[in-house]
Structure 1
Amino acid sequence: MEEFILSIVENFKELSYFGIMLALTIEFVPAEVVLPLAGYWVYEGDMTLWGTVLAGTVGGTFGPLTLYALGRYGGRPFILKYGKYFFINEEKLNKADEFFAKNGGMVAFTARFLPGVRTLISIPCGMAKMNVWSFSIYTFAAMLPITFLYVFLGYKLGDRWKDVGELANTYLLPIGIGVLVIFILYKLITKSRKRQK
């Protein structure tokens, strides 16, 4: 399956930065494959680092909007019936629901850093009818450092760009937890100050 996806992504290379953006807009093409490969293209001198990061971030923001729309306008029954075509099963959907219920609106940002939840969290955001602009801004803000990490590691590892996925996840999980902790502390401090007034 990965070889098939790689063959598709290689064709997008001909479209340069627009190709990277387009590949990431298609949700069944994993960013974990596209971005390290794009980093390798930077290593080869075919693209610039920041141009690639920007294209990847924009594509990584547009892509989740498709799953957000599925959640918002199709609802859970639709997702359970047709989700298999997007590699979504009930177990994955339940995990995304659970994470969203625990973490509220900030989930569109925080969940991007957590492997296994990153993509599917868009669905409960849509089902909860989260404001689409807020969803897009949070998604863009999270995708920028994530995209940079994957592209930069692909660039640094060069011919070994396929090793990026496992390496990146070791960074992203603690970052995601750290971001969540900071957000919770911020909320607690804000509530405490309001009570004092």
Structure 2
Amino acid sequence: MEERLLHWLARDGTIVLFFAQMLGIFGLPIPDEFLMTVAGTLARNGHLHLWSTLLAAVSGCIAGITLSYWLGRTVGFAAVHRFIHLSDSAFVRAQRWFLRFGCWLLMFGYFIPGVRHVTAIAAGSTPLGFRTFATYAYPGAVLWSFGFVFLGYFAGERWRSVFDLVRRRLPLIAVVVIAVVAAAALFITSRKNASA
């Protein structure tokens, strides 16, 4: 499947990236991080335009996560669980994580394999409003998409080895990103309180 997607990406460019991102986030077995990394490498080599690649990756991700939210809102998490053949343990884990971490899981769940596919559906099946959902989920889409596209862009010809290393360390990277964002939020909040 990867070879076919790579052929389409090289031939048709960012439109393939958009739909691959949308369908991958929605839950189809598409190697989204792999494709974004390759797209970044193609942008570095001049086969794709960098900013249109970033736009396609982010907008595809946002489209997929939004569709997932509305699916959870209209059909419910349990019905979707049966439809996408999610294992019972993954289903229970996603529910437990969403109840524990709530909206923050929408932002950082992209970095946890298997979690990004169900967090929006779980959010849609709760009373969480769309505006709150988008406030957390969309910046996460930007972080995740930019991260992998720029990974491929800066790794260049070494993209495969760098990608494999990052893929193995993705949960650790997620923890670091969360810590940095939390520290920045605390710093900004303390500065606002000090000036008030």
Aligned-CA RMSD value: 2.7
* Residues in 2 aligned to 1:69 and 1:90: alpha-carbon distance in whole angstroms: 22
Structure-2-length-normalised TM-score: 0.77
Match of 1:167 in 2: 166
Native 8 Å contact 1:113 1:172 kept in 2 = yes
Query: Which amino acid counterpart does residue 22 of structure 1 have in structure 2?
Result: F
1:180 CA drift (Å): 5.2
After TM superposition, the structure 1 stretch with the greater mean CA deviation from structure 2, 62-71 or 50-59, is 62-71
**2:16 counterpart SS class:** helix
Evaluate the alpha carbon distance shift between residue 93 and residue 38 of structure 1 in structure 2; reply closer, same or farther with a 3 A threshold. same
Match of 1:21 among 10, 18, 28: 18
* Residues in 2 aligned to 1:51 and 1:75: alpha-carbon distance in whole angstroms: 34
Evaluate the alpha carbon distance shift between residue 180 and residue 10 of structure 1 in structure 2; reply closer, same or farther with a 3 A threshold. farther
* Residues in 2 aligned to 1:66 and 1:150: alpha-carbon distance in whole angstroms: 22
Q: Matched residues, percent identical?
A: 23
Q: Which whole-Å deviations, capped at 9, do the CAs of 1:3-30 have from their partners, x for residues lacking one?
A: x144135314433222211221112223
Matched, 1:8 2:5: yes
Native 8 Å contact 1:31 1:60 kept in 2 = no
Evaluate the alpha carbon distance shift between residue 37 and residue 60 of structure 1 in structure 2; reply closer, same or farther with a 3 A threshold. same
1:125 CA drift (Å): 0.6
Evaluate the alpha carbon distance shift between residue 116 and residue 173 of structure 1 in structure 2; reply closer, same or farther with a 3 A threshold. farther
Native 8 Å contact 1:114 1:176 kept in 2 = no
Query: Which amino acid counterpart does residue 181 of structure 2 have in structure 1?
Result: V
Equivalenced residue count is 182
**Structure 2: which 5+ residue stretches go unaligned?**
none
* Residues in 1 aligned to 2:125 and 2:152: alpha-carbon distance in whole angstroms: 35
1:44 CA drift (Å): 1.9
**Structure 1: which 5+ residue stretches go unaligned?**
none
**1:119 counterpart SS class:** helix
Structure-1-length-normalised TM-score: 0.77
Matched, 1:104 2:121: no
Q: Note the 1:110-125 alignment, pairs <5 A.
A: 110-125=108-123
1:55 CA drift (Å): 1.4
